[in-house]
Chains A and B, each alone.
Chain A
Amino acid sequence: MSEVIRLRRGLDIKIKGDAENVVDILSPPASVAVKPIDFPGLVPKLDVKPDTVVRTGDALFHDKYHPEVLFTAPVGGRIASVKRGERRRILEVVIETAKNPEEAEFSKADPNTLSGEEIKDQLLKSGLWPLIKRRPYGIVAYPDDKPKGIFVSTFDTSPLAPDYDFIIKKEKKAFQTGIDALAKLTEGTVYLGVKKDSIFSEVKNVRIRHFSGPHPAGNVGVQIHHIRPVFKGDVVWTINVQDVLFIGRLFLNGKLDMSKTIALTGSEIKNSQYYRTVTGAPVSLITDGRLKKADYRQRIISGNVLTGKHVKEQNHTGFYDSQITVIPEGDQYELLGWASPGLYKYSASKTFFSKILPKDEYELNANMHGGERAFVMTDQYKKVVPMDILPVFLLKAILANDIDKMEQLGIYEVIEEDFALCEFVCASKIKVQDILRGGINTMIKELG
């Protein structure tokens, strides 16, 4: 298929701090962590306790309702701590890594020679299963799912997102192996959403679909909508590019290797570039010494500025994250800020003079720029959602707890990242992503 699906709606936020195509390898981390809170809807059951010694690939905890789904140690060592939050909810399992950790053994084989069941088994045992998410809802896939297809978006259009063409240059074989393994897990096909002139168009055993357009053209949910939408009763799977590499390496080498290339980005970074480390590495390993000196607070985000999690230096990076973004906190008063001409204020609207004399990139901080209000403006959201969805009406149906309406308006097709831009442009500062996740949780609770 050579036709390009051109998406017109959306917004490329012109934010400062894009990463240069340079990679530095970081020293092995002193600790890694796996956080159950990275997996929406998961109820974890611990398999270890502090001081237990684990190999790379040994189980740390499993899903209470699907006990075969294991979450394993990205690097072996000694369990340093199990952090808990309110109501003893497990927040984080921290491992003090060993210098030469023992590694759990898995079978080395060409996925094309294995059956779907065998591949599934290996993924479950190695802890790589949670890399696969299911739609609807964007939660970890159920082992007994029968997905109609598996979708991988090979380019990320989020602000300052890493360039996957750059990252997998040297690991094309591992990527192909990973794809071959995934292809066996579905009766349908594996689809790759690719951008123009991408090396991913050479991947075999998949159907390629070309996409172009502003963010969120790179969101897998948006791509699914334009390839084969998810309606009631459908299940499809999604997985990130680097996670496919982990699967490929597992079958190529028989070992768990969750080394990852992470982009350190944002206006507060001295030299934005890529770093090679491992999943769950400490934030400080990546950020220490690399932040600009400032007399104001800076915000470190694991992930991108739209969907990432606010972290501190002493935390660890998220399971699914391939970037860290650092922006100014912006917790300062501004005199009559709402009335200023705003030549340097980036806005998706036409209400600031920055539209008349646009710059190439802007500094954006974490200030809300206004208080939370009710829905007032009516045409902001639709302009940034390149799907046949009525975002405001879906959100109102969620707020009204109207399950029938939520189904009819497409709650099966979206997760937070697909509506994140709505939250960015909203003049009423409505917590769109929170509302959407609340709606998804309601659907899971009521309909399973």
Chain B
Amino acid sequence: MQFLKKIFEKTEPYVEEGGKYHWLKSVHDGFFTLLFVPPRTSKTGTHIHDYIDLKRVMAIVVVATLPSLLFGMYNVGFQHYKAIGEFASTGFVNIFLYGLIKVLPIVIVSYVVGLGIEFFFAQIRGHEINEGFLVTGMLIPLIMPVETPLWMIALSTAFAVIFGKEVFGGTGMNIWNPALLARAFLFFAYPAHMSGNAVWVALGKNDRAVDTFTGATPMGNAAEGNINFDVSDAFFGLIPGSIGETSTLAILLGAIILIITGVGSWKIILSTFSGGLLMGIILNIFAGSNAYMSVPFWQHLVLGGFAFGAVFMATDPVSGAQTEKGKWIYGFLIGILAILIRVLNPAYPEGMMMAILLINTFAPLIDHYVVKGYIRRRTKRAYFYNKNIQENDL
């Protein structure tokens, strides 16, 4: 430990201004503060500070995504072996390892590209590198189909970090959820790659799929009118889909972690689910003969990216509503819109990404009106005091 610290301290003069490696200062300081909480003490204001900091908050979010990540890896293997008809003959460890080998490169590319860009911006701005990407870097792989080419992952990550975050001023300043921007970028820039059935299940060049294999996700099928998913499979996650979104169970474990630690807003999660359920009910009522609309309203929660989006994307404190009242409205609108788009819009089999991005845009407006309402209440109270209360009456 002392040894590590000495290395960082010894190299410090080289990265300071005028030093030979000054361009690496943000990288040096970033890793130094990651490994060692710096000995900085309060200079103004409160002398004591809570032990919580953004590194801890982000670390907790990453921990909350681990069930989805680990299950997602297993599921990648599962879908693969099922597709080539060898599931019965493959052991658990091999299934998991297959998934690990497929998913890990995506995670690595996401972090390397994203952090690289963040270090660059931190350097040119002269700030410390911010911890925001620690979470985004994990979320991006989890919302991608497993067969997305690595260069696309890199490109979309770069787009998300530069145009989704840094352009606005970095962590804390972004309007939209950066991970979803990465996904949306691929959705719109490479539609042929990202839709259709080839991306969801991992098949190697020499693998032969069994005859019954289609590679389609339940969402894709439903969009075409085939409602053929098994609800318990959907809940546990053994269906094709983006890497981290399939297992509602794993996502719920993550939600529990986020809510217990107070890091994720339970209001947003609850209101998003409620909005989704309400829309599901409305669709059920007006379903008629439409099969998709007749899907029992609660099953929407276990399908597609709805649960993942509700728990990990909508809860992003920066891009979401920031007033407590606003959070209820924000989550509810996302839930309603996501299911509406998913069922009624033929162009988007999954509506969650678009719903969140759209309501991200309106979050400041929601807050604006909540604050306006608050100000109106204050003004009324002032008026009441000044007109009606005599000093002696108090």
- A residues contacting B by CB (< 8 A) are 13, 15, 148-149, 159, 187-189, 207, 227-229, 231-232, 299, 301, 305-308, 310, 325, 327, 329-339, 342, 345-352, 364-371, 373-379, 382, 388, 390, 392-393, 408-410, 416, 420, 423-429, 431-434
Contact = CB atoms under 8 A, between A and B. Distances in A.
A379 B33 contact: no
A213 B132 CA distance: 36
A431 B44 contact: yes
Given A331-B39, A370-B52, 13 more contacts: A188-B391, A189-B394, A229-B381, A306-B48, A335-B35, A339-B55, A349-B52, A367-B49, A369-B37, A369-B50, A370-B37, A376-B132, A376-B318
B272 to A, nearest CB: 16
Interface in B109-135: 128, 130-132
Interface string B351-394: 00000000000000000000100110011011001100101101
Contacts of A350: 260-262
Given A229-B381, A350-B260, A374-B170, A427 B44 contact: no
A370 B262 contact: no
Contact of B56 (A189, A331, A351, A379): A351
Nearest to A228: B394
Interface string B34-64: 0111111110111111111111110110000
Given A335-B1, A351-B52, A427-B53, A329 B41 contact: yes
A228 to B, nearest CB: 6
B61 to A, nearest CB: 11
A367 B53 CA distance: 12
B323 interface: yes
22 contacts: A187-B391, A228-B389, A232-B382, A331-B41, A335-B1, A338-B55, A339-B56, A349-B261, A350-B260, A351-B262, A367-B40, A368-B49, A370-B53, A370-B55, A378-B317, A379-B324, A390-B323, A410-B378, A420-B46, A423-B49, A428-B54, A432-B45
Nearest to A189: B391
A4 B375 CA distance: 27
B41 A366 contact: yes
A442 B324 CA distance: 29
Given A332-B39, A374-B170, A427 B46 contact: no
Nearest to B376: A408
A365 B48 contact: yes
B172 interface: yes
A305 B47 CA distance: 5
A306 B42 CA distance: 11
B382 A333 contact: no
A305 to B, nearest CB: 5
Given A187-B391, A228-B385, A331-B41, A349 B47 contact: no
B46 A227 contact: no
B36 A334 contact: yes
Interface of B: 1, 4-5, 33, 35-42, 44-57, 59-60, 128, 130-132, 169-173, 260-263, 265, 317-318, 320, 322-324, 371, 374-375, 378-379, 381-382, 385-386, 389, 391-392, 394
Nearest to A397: B371
A388 B378 contact: yes
Nearest to B129: A371
A299 B41 CA distance: 10
Nearest to B39: A331
Most buried by B among A332, A376, A420: A376
A328 to B, nearest CB: 10
A15 B130 CA distance: 30
A333 B318 contact: no
A200 to B, nearest CB: 18
Given A333-B5, A335-B1, A373 B130 contact: yes
Given A189-B394, A370-B37, A375-B172, A345 B51 contact: yes
A375 B57 CA distance: 13
Nearest to B128: A371
Contacts of A371: 33, 38, 40, 53, 128
Contacts of B35: 335-336
Contacts of B172: 373-376, 428
A306 B57 CA distance: 23
Given A370-B53, A390-B374, A426-B50, A333 B37 contact: yes
Nearest to A328: B41
Nearest to A188: B391
Contacts of B44: 431, 433-434
A306 B35 CA distance: 28
Contacts of B128: 371
**Minimum-distance CB pairs A-B, first 9:** A370-B53, A374-B172, A337-B37, A231-B382, A338-B55, A366-B41, A331-B39, A345-B51, A333-B36
A420 B42 CA distance: 13
Nearest to B51: A345
Contacts of A337: 36-37, 51
B385 to A, nearest CB: 7
Contacts of B378: 388, 408, 410
A314 to B, nearest CB: 19
Given A310-B47, A345-B51, A373 B171 contact: yes
Most buried by B among A373, A410, A425: A373
Contact of B51 (A229, A369, A374): A369
Nearest to A431: B45
Contacts of A299: 41, 47
A365 to B, nearest CB: 7
A116 to B, nearest CB: 15
A329 B48 CA distance: 10
Nearest to B1: A335
A420 B55 CA distance: 22
B48 A364 contact: yes
Given A368-B42, A374-B170, A392 B50 contact: no
Contacts of A432: 45
Contacts of A189: 391-392, 394
B322 A378 contact: yes
Contacts of A342: 51
Given A229-B385, A373-B130, A432-B45, A425 B265 contact: no
A342 B37 CA distance: 14
A254 to B, nearest CB: 32
B330 to A, nearest CB: 11
Contacts of A187: 391
Contacts of B130: 373-374
Most buried by B among A149, A227, A231, A382: A231
Contacts of B33: 371
A111 B172 CA distance: 56
A377 B38 CA distance: 22
